[in-house]
Structure 1
């Protein structure tokens, strides 16, 4: 059975579009989330009744021991994100990895990632003196590029981008540097230097992984706690049990009617069927 997910609009200081009910521009849309005390509202595509992701996890209709394992967002950037890193190198817990799929990109859009040959002392000094940008690899981004960010990868994202972000359901991000920016309260945003430096994968230089192009995932390069598949055309598709489907262009038709992009659907453990006229991504929890 398929459910349609109601998005949550999240303000960010680097966000690119205004919502009339928010004072700060929207930077993230959470298409499917499940955190302690809150989760996405879902509408049954067959009979229209409402439930939450938490309801379906508790009733064993979705995977997840306590929470659904994947968080799905889109990012909308008018300014650069902070320089950050996620925990979990070496398979430790907590752990967070994410995959960025570029949905649209302005000319000369970019991300940063990778430290090269650098030790902790030099890294601290570059942060302290505001020269860290000179030491980071800048990666040009175009529509359809796919980058995987394993735990321990130092990274940032530039302006002029719309990104589909698939990530493990962990809300821990260590902010290392914020480019001298202030938050909505006019004060510098909190940094997490000590925890962040401990979380960096110094053995690899903290580099992102190119995991595909032209919107298509290379399964040999994407090694993650989820699987992502791209489909396009006018076709009937089966969504595996417990999987998400993000409609990136065009529309889908399900029993209750049509759903235009962008949109997110989720199948309970019995799976679901839809007709696609466009393109989208199937995201399945479980290692690739």
Structure 2
């Protein structure tokens, strides 16, 4: 039986009576608040992806409103929105340009004014304005925000239930719909919801169909503050892929009927959920809400000053054990991602090998003496289907074994070979992978996987050849401190990467300090460990093998010890933070 916890939950103290489960309890709570007034405007603003039909069937009729308005009826028509976004969406299936739009730009001013006039003319009873952008119609005497995690949005898109907001594009391929959400919708609605969450009276969770939950805004904000004072985990999600393997299925107790699992996003707050428990009620929110509302306490002053309300460190798993090679790829240089896509930092990364089969390799850097023109010509011919890419001629293959660490600064060609279980430690702009060669495969959707050679050839650093990679990127391990029962090793990353990593081997307790920066760790060796506070500042927190956990900057000092099934074992953690 796996010990890996797939639904980690943060237990919130002091607000057990501030959350409700089920439509009946939610209706009773809202009615209690709105019917105390002779006239009240209830605004239910929504993240795109919330099932408005469920609100219209289960919630709104029970509130006995005099007037009910759907804010989406003030949205501009589909063609107008498409023309406005054309520059951001581009013609590419995968890559767009990051949007700086505000939500009001998607709204027809005349329709909005007419709706506002309807609200103002209704001088008695209850007025309800609901849907994405409802707070643009009226700020609300009572404000409810209905949020939606991004992973659930993607599932609804994949099932065909959901199109992009205002697009009517359910039949469009998933890559294009994801692109529109990533580059436009999520940016626009995060800007819109952040000030609303700071003043909302309630948050409504409708992630699970017909199993809604409601929490007061005060309790939600207190919960986020509590979370920044203790270790926590976000909710991992798992996804199959054409190259996916079998290791996670076996070790994380996943669906045995699934063909494979390629990815696990174990710490990607932009897309993961955060589970908060208030007494008997569990609330699921995007973990990005913690970043948006508590950036300084979570990230630390220096990290917040540099990145704003963005979580810059990503931990995820890539499973090719029993699978295939990843795509041969490269990530953009900083200036390229800034100029082409509007991102302000790039995807530097590393592969930490959790497990490996005997013949596993990592492809990293070009072979010394490689002619750029010859390799690019070979890649172009492979892209046209004339021949397979001659990887053995142009690309280094390094044997990969358990606990190896390969550093991959942007511009370095690379991929993990079959037979590896990789803990990928990287910067967060994870969508920016330029595939150079995909081994002639089709994607899970049966379509050719996009190859972006035209981008990739502009960012490959040809100086990263065999000698350079050996000297700078393969197992750059240095012991920096040790004591009785523990040893601390620096394992990277490269000087061009802003993430620092340290590995601790220990059989005795090890004291750490955040140093004013958010720390992200994974238990890479040993069954179980406990994280506690030497001063008793937070309740002890137990982690299991391969679980990623976050230590907010405000925690300061913390201690990690062998615990439970890990007692008496040699344990190890890998820790990442942003260099000062």
| TM-score, normalised with respect to structure 1 | 0.86
| TM-score, normalised with respect to structure 2 | 0.45
1:193-240 residue CA offsets vs partner (Å, 9 max, x unmatched): 100111211243496411435995345956521111111223143351
Q: Note the C-alpha offset of 1:141.
A: 1.1
Quick one: distance in 2 between partners of 1:15 and 1:88? 27
1:132 aligns with 2:405: no
Q: Note the C-alpha offset of 1:259.
A: 2.6
Structure-2 residue corresponding to 1:276: 561
Alignment of 1:3-152 (within 5 A): 3-17=232-246, 18=249, 19-20=254-255, 23-35=258-270, 38-41=271-274, 52-58=286-292, 59-60=294-295, 61-63=297-299, 64-77=307-320, 78-88=323-333, 93=338, 94-115=345-366, 116-127=368-379, 128=381, 129-133=387-391, 134-152=393-411
The question of whether the paired residues in 2 share the 8 Å contact of 1:247 and 1:280 is answered with yes
CA change 1:183–1:91 in 2 (3 A) is closer
The question of whether the paired residues in 2 share the 8 Å contact of 1:4 and 1:43 is answered with no
The correspondence for 2:520, drawn from 244, 248, 251, is: 244
CA change 1:246–1:212 in 2 (3 A) is same
Q: Note the C-alpha offset of 1:24.
A: 4.4
Alignment of 1:192-231 (within 5 A): 192-205=452-465, 208=469, 209-212=473-476, 216-219=489-492, 223-231=496-504
Quick one: distance in 1 between partners of 2:500 and 2:460? 24
Quick one: distance in 1 between partners of 2:459 and 2:518? 31
The correspondence for 1:165, drawn from 418, 424, 444, is: 424
Quick one: distance in 1 between partners of 2:558 and 2:493? 27
Tell me whether 168-177 or 118-127 shows the greater mean CA deviation: 118-127
* Structure 1 or 2: more strand by fraction: 1
CA change 1:216–1:15 in 2 (3 A) is farther
Pairs aligned (count): 282
The question of whether the paired residues in 2 share the 8 Å contact of 1:239 and 1:267 is answered with no
| Structure 1: unaligned runs, 5 residues or longer | none
Quick one: distance in 1 between partners of 2:276 and 2:232? 5
1:237-288 residue CA offsets vs partner (Å, 9 max, x unmatched): 335141112112332224255332121211222125243212211111236x
The correspondence for 1:184, drawn from 441, 444, 461, is: 444
The question of whether the paired residues in 2 share the 8 Å contact of 1:11 and 1:22 is answered with no
Structure having greater relative contact order (Cα 8 Å, sep ≥ 6): 1
Quick one: distance in 2 between partners of 1:92 and 1:190? 18
CA change 1:85–1:203 in 2 (3 A) is same
The question of whether the paired residues in 1 share the 8 Å contact of 2:407 and 2:492 is answered with no
Quick one: distance in 2 between partners of 1:152 and 1:118? 16
The question of whether the paired residues in 2 share the 8 Å contact of 1:247 and 1:262 is answered with yes
Tell me whether 156-165 or 114-123 shows the greater mean CA deviation: 114-123
The question of whether the paired residues in 2 share the 8 Å contact of 1:148 and 1:222 is answered with no
| Structure 2: unaligned runs, 5 residues or longer | 1-229, 300-306, 339-344, 382-386, 479-487, 532-538, 563-570
CA change 1:73–1:62 in 2 (3 A) is same
Tell me whether 72-81 or 220-229 shows the greater mean CA deviation: 220-229
1:39-68 residue CA offsets vs partner (Å, 9 max, x unmatched): 442569xxx987654222222222241310
Residue aligned with 2:474, SS: strand
